[in-house]
A and B are shown apart, each in its own frame.
Chain A
Amino acid sequence: MAKKLPSIDVVLVGFGWTAAMLGQEFTDAGLKVLAIERGGWRDTSTDFAVTFAQDELRYYWRRALFEEPARETLTFRNDPSQTALPMRHLGSFLPATGVGGAGVHWNGMTWRFLPSDFVAKSHNTQRYGALSADMTIQDWGVTYNELEPYYDKFEYLCGISGKAGNLKGQIQAGGNPFEGPRSREYPNPPMKMVYGPTLFAQAATETGHKPFPGPAANMSRPYTNPLGVQLGPCTYCGFCEKYGCGNYSKASALTTVIPVLLRKKNFELRTECEVLTVNKDSAGKRATGLTYVDAQGEEFEQPAEIVVLCAYATHNPRLLLLSGIGQPYDPKSGQGVVGKNYAYQITSSVDVFFDDKILNPFIGAGALGMVIDDYNGDNFDHSGLGFIGGGYIACWNTNGRPIETHPVPKGTPKWGSKWKAAVKKNYLTTATVATHGAVMSHRNNYYDLDPTYRDVHGRPLLRLTFDFTDNEHKMSNYLTDRAADIAKAMKAREIHAKPREGHYDIVPYQTTHNTGGTIMGADPKSSVVNRYLQSWDLHNLFVMGASVFPQNAGYNPTGTIGALTYWAANAIRTQYLKSPGPLVQA
């Protein structure tokens, strides 16, 4: 029997980016806030100090900062006719456990989605006609213009380094001319640029494209954010994604919010406590709180006036399914919403091998590079192409960590003296042009609960059914061809295109950009949460994070997650607290 605890104003599930931001907002509003985190306390100076942060084996290959499948994983299959099997160790994506969440080990690529991304269904239908019936995309229910102030707030919280391409409708030289209008410049200038991306930008310009520096949560100079938290200038050490930054140079919840939030008397964090269910009242109209188990195995019931799911994008949908909240999605009938519209991203690359150009790949940062956005979203005419959506093409210098990064030309053996010679010959002189493409939602790409496999608490694992569709393959091949065009113009010895072929494979790392499952939208028939990320079923339950994306866009998701979080926080503070109830009438 769970021990019942005193009630609290707000309880947050998980303690990564979104929970820390909401904790700050709600405590500012005078509420008593509790965050419940399944992992442990961790901090820069103790868990990834500069003296030992640059450890490729420990942090990436031995997964020091990531969630442990032994405790909880998901099962996976490509299509509903197969039997899903457990993801026994991590591969394709890397969720985290512990304070700060996956935002501790991100690269820091901080994008805004395009205005047309938020109206993907109506925009594409209007321009290109009816979509395939199996493509289950929809409009978000919120527009770019509505989110703009909240994008801005998140970028200033983080100290993003970049160059605006569109200031209040005026196109700016050197920035991304395709982006939606922004109200002001980035808080910090772009990072200094290394050689490989510089060569890419030259070739992109020569071939008629519009390159600009990638927007980075890596600091181009010392920065003090609006909460008074200081970040230091990035030293380009090349250990961002999959690592914690030892240098306080990468924005994360730990380096921007938590030092302020934890000092507040009306905030409490409980670590090593895992939420088991969200509880609801007998009428099924309100969440009453949640039940969690602590590290010693003792169960507690935590009542709360407001419950917010702030766990990773795979965990929020699972918690709703385990709690019996909302109607689970059924791909056969198309009915139900919880678990619907899982999406991901589709990536490919072109390696560019030089003989005479030393590129020093180890001088890197998570979002250090040059990008073109000419083929993202609907920035180009898709007539006759047979697909919608797109992605960016970029040359990043994220790292030269040699276990992960030792490019060799096509046809090189995988081991032996010829492999060794090829690794030595090409390590310093190879650039990679990467494509980062959207995945549209599809009828057969979804989550439900696995009938067979269970987690360490005995609960069913989440079951993921996912494959790339024809739309994604056509789109990604188109992007790869455009990337190869630019790679050829870089005038290297040889290029090697690596398209993404065949079925989605859960083994090789691709991106930690899992979306959908608790999607937002205009009505309860087509979505789990409304435009303010409020549950249609329980008005005091909110869901943050990428699980609310109705489909994915061709950008890294964190900027949009940050904007949606501040947007929802504002609605809760200014509307919900005054009059608790549905913020949108169904």
Chain B
Amino acid sequence: MARRRDVNRRQLISASVLIGSSLAIDCAQARSISGKVPWQPDEANKPQIVKPGPNQFFTSDEAEFIDAAISRLIPNDDLGPGAKEADVALFLDRQLAGPFGKASSWYMQGPWSKGTKTQGYQSRRTPAELYHAAIKAIDSYCTGKFGGKKFAALSADQQDQVLKGVESADIKLDGVDGKTFFTVFLQNTIEGFFSDPIYGGNRDMVGWKLVGFPGAHYDYRPYVEKHGQKLDLPPVGIKGRPGWTPS
């Protein structure tokens, strides 16, 4: 049985921070271990596997933006499928609906100050709040600039110009730091393209096939000293690979 220790603890910590508690409230049990290694059979802290289905985070308007934008960040082209075809939108939806979106493990107490670049992320917005605000602001910018058209309705060239403007902060968005959003969004898109398919993206391991990464391959000992040889090992994920294990 999977232990849900981490998730529970994070949820409770967030709750305790919110109510201003001075002590960690924690459902995990403090335990004493002596005289033996506390090993239990059939116990594993397994990863949580994403199931496809309706969006849990993005609204339908937001989903249109995401589909369009990730298609520009990692396009479908003659080298192979891009982020949209790899189901990166599903990956992002589940990440933002979960602990990452809620910044569950981040220090999110004030006071808040912009700080220097070297002091890192100082927005009071969680990633989830940042995505909601930035998508709204980018669509609002596009509607004003391009005769009522939202980002998803623009041509590919226009979309690239908008994304470059947000990335460089040449485009000032209303009430949100576009540059910070772009950094997080690009990083998350690359994560969705290259992470194990159990998280919803990298469908059919297209990201791994693009570069030649064999994935969660266990043993490379036969290949260590095959210097300079292209191995073309078929990639394998945590759930195996098509034709090897049933999905």
Interface residues of A (CB under 8 A from B): 40-43, 45-47, 49-52, 54-58, 61-64, 68-71, 73, 76-78, 82-89, 91, 192-195, 198, 233, 235-238, 258-259, 262-265, 267-274, 293-297, 357-360, 362-363, 400-403, 406, 414-417, 419-421, 423-424, 427-428, 452-454, 456-458, 503-507
In the complex, chain B residues 149-165 whose Cβ is within 8 Å of any chain A Cβ: 160, 163
Name 6 extra pairs, CB < 8 A, besides A192-B221, A271-B31, A420-B74.
A41-B31, A57-B196, A84-B119, A85-B115, A237-B217, A423-B210
Are B77 and A47 touching (Cβ within 8 A)? no
Tell me whether A64 and B6 are in contact (CB under 8 A).
yes
The reply to whether B195 and A57 form a contact with Cβ atoms under 8 Å apart is yes
Residue pair B211, A402 in contact (C-beta under 8 Å): yes
Known: A89-B121, A423-B211. A403 touches B220 (CB 8 A): no
Q: Is B120 an interface residue (CB 8 A)?
A: yes
Q: Mark B20-40, 1 if CB is under 8 A from A, else 0.
A: 001111111111111111111
Q: How far is the CB of B85 from chain A (nearest CB, A)?
A: 12
Contacts of B116 in A (CB 8 A): 77-78, 82, 503
Q: Are A235 and B196 in contact (CB under 8 A)?
A: no
Asked whether, in the complex, the Cβ of B37 is within 8 Å of the Cβ of A420, the reply is no
Q: Is the interface of A mostly helix, strand, loop or mixed?
A: loop
Q: Shortest beta-carbon distance, A456 to chain B, in Å?
A: 5
Does residue B212 face the partner (Cβ distance < 8 Å to A)? yes
Q: Chain B residues near A85 (CB, 8 Å)? A: 113, 115, 119, 122
Mark the stretch among B42-50, B58-66, B130-138, B139-147 that contacts chain A.
Answer: B42-50
B241 at the binding interface (Cβ < 8 Å): no
**Given B37, B109, B196, B225, which contacts A56 in the complex, CB threshold below 8 Å?**
B196
Residue pair B17, A358 in contact (C-beta under 8 Å): no
Q: Cβ of B118 and Cβ of A503 under 8 Å apart?
A: yes
> Is residue B51 contacting chain A, with contact meaning CB distance below 8 A?
no
A349 to B229, CA, bound (A): 25
Measured between beta carbons, the chain B residues less than 8 angstroms from A294 are 30
A272 & B122 in contact (Cβ 8 Å cutoff): no
Whether B97 sits at the interface, judged by CB under 8 Å, is no
B172 at the A interface (CB under 8 A):
no
- Ordered by A's residue number, 17 sampled pairs between the chains whose C-beta atoms are within 8 Å are A41-B31, A46-B45, A50-B218, A57-B199, A76-B120, A88-B107, A89-B120, A193-B224, A235-B220, A263-B35, A271-B33, A294-B30, A362-B217, A402-B207, A415-B74, A424-B79, A454-B109
Cβ–Cβ < 8 Å partners of A88 in chain B: 103, 106-108, 120-122
Q: Does B57 sit within 8 A of A, measured CB to CB?
A: no
Decide: B24 and A274 in contact? CB cutoff 8 A: yes
Are the C-beta atoms of B73 and A70 separated by less than 8 Å?
Answer: no
Neighbouring A residues of B39 by C-beta, 8 Å: 43, 45-46
Q: How far is the CB of A466 from chain B (nearest CB, A)?
A: 10
Cβ contacts B203-227/A at 8 Å (1 or 0 each): 0000110111111111111011101
**What is the minimal beta-carbon distance from A90 to any residue of chain B, in angstroms?**
9
Given A265-B35, A424-B210: A194 and B224 within 8 A (CB)?
yes
Interface contact A263-B224, CB-CB below 8 Å: no
For the complex, what is the distance from the CA of A27 to the CA of B216, rounded to whole Å? 40
CB-nearest residue of chain B to A247: B218
Query: B residues bordering A, Cβ < 8 Å?
Result: 3, 5-6, 10, 13-14, 16-17, 22-40, 43-47, 72-75, 77, 79, 82, 99-100, 103-109, 111, 113, 115-122, 160, 163, 167, 186, 189-191, 194-196, 199, 207-208, 210-221, 223-225, 227-231, 238
Bound-complex Cα distance A51 to B2 (A): 14
Q: In the complex, which of the residues B105, B191, B211 contacts A424, with contact meaning CB atoms closer than 8 Å? A: B211
Give the complex CA separation of A421 and B80 in angstroms: 10
- Asked if B160 contacts A362 (CB within 8 A), the reply is no
Q: Which 9 A-B residue pairings sit nearest by Cβ, starting from the closest? A: A294-B30, A57-B195, A427-B211, A54-B216, A195-B227, A458-B22, A69-B107, A235-B219, A297-B23
- Contact at A428–B5, with CB atoms within 8 Å? no
Tell me which of B36, B107, B117, B231 contacts A87 (CB under 8 A).
Answer: B107
The residue of chain B having its C-beta at the shortest distance from the C-beta of A196 within the complex is: B227
Provide the bound-state CA to CA distance between A42 and B5, in Å: 11
Whether B190 and A506, one on each chain, are in contact in the complex, defined by CB atoms closer than 8 angstroms, is: no
> Closest CB of chain A to B234's CB: distance in Å?
13
Task: Establish whether residues A62 and B100, one from each chain, have CB atoms under 8 Å apart when the complex forms.
Answer: yes
A70 to B11, CA, bound (A): 11
Are the CB atoms of A362 and B213 closer together than 8 Å? yes
Q: Which of A61, A271, A295, A363 contacts B224 (CB 8 A)?
A: A363
Q: Give Cα A401 to B218, complex, Å.
A: 14
Contacts A272-B28, A417-B75; A70 near B13 (Cβ below 8 A): yes
- Docked CA distance A148–B167 (Å): 53
Across-interface contacts of B99 in A (CB, < 8 A): 62
A360 to B210, CA, bound (A): 14
- Interface-central residue, A86, A198, A270, A454, by most chain B CB under 10 Å: A86
Distance, CA A296 to CA B215, complexed state (A): 40
Chain A's closest residue to B167 (CB) is A414
A247 to chain B, nearest CB (A): 8
Residues on B with C-beta less than 8 A from A194 are: 224-225, 227
The answer to whether A453 and B109 have CB atoms under 8 Å apart is yes
Cα distance A272–B12 in the bound complex, in angstroms: 14
Q: Smallest distance from the beta carbon of A2 to chain B beta carbons, Å?
A: 12
CA distance A34 to B123 in the complex (A): 41
Q: Which residues of A contact B113 (CB under 8 A)?
A: 83, 85
Q: Which residues of A have CB within 8 Å of B29?
A: 272, 295-296
A56 lies within 8 A of B194 (CB): yes
Q: In the complex where A91-B120, A360-B231, A417-B77 touch, is A68 in contact with B37 (Cβ < 8 A)?
A: no
CB-based contact B238/A402 at 8 Å: no
Minimum C-beta distance from A322 to chain B (A): 14
Assess the A69–B224 pair: CB atoms within 8 A.
no
Are A456 and B35 in contact, with the CB atoms below 8 A? no
Report the Cα distance A415→B167, complex, angstroms.
Answer: 11
Cα separation A454 to B111 with both chains bound (whole Å):
11
A420 and B36 in contact, given A192-B225, A505-B117 (Cβ under 8 angstroms): no
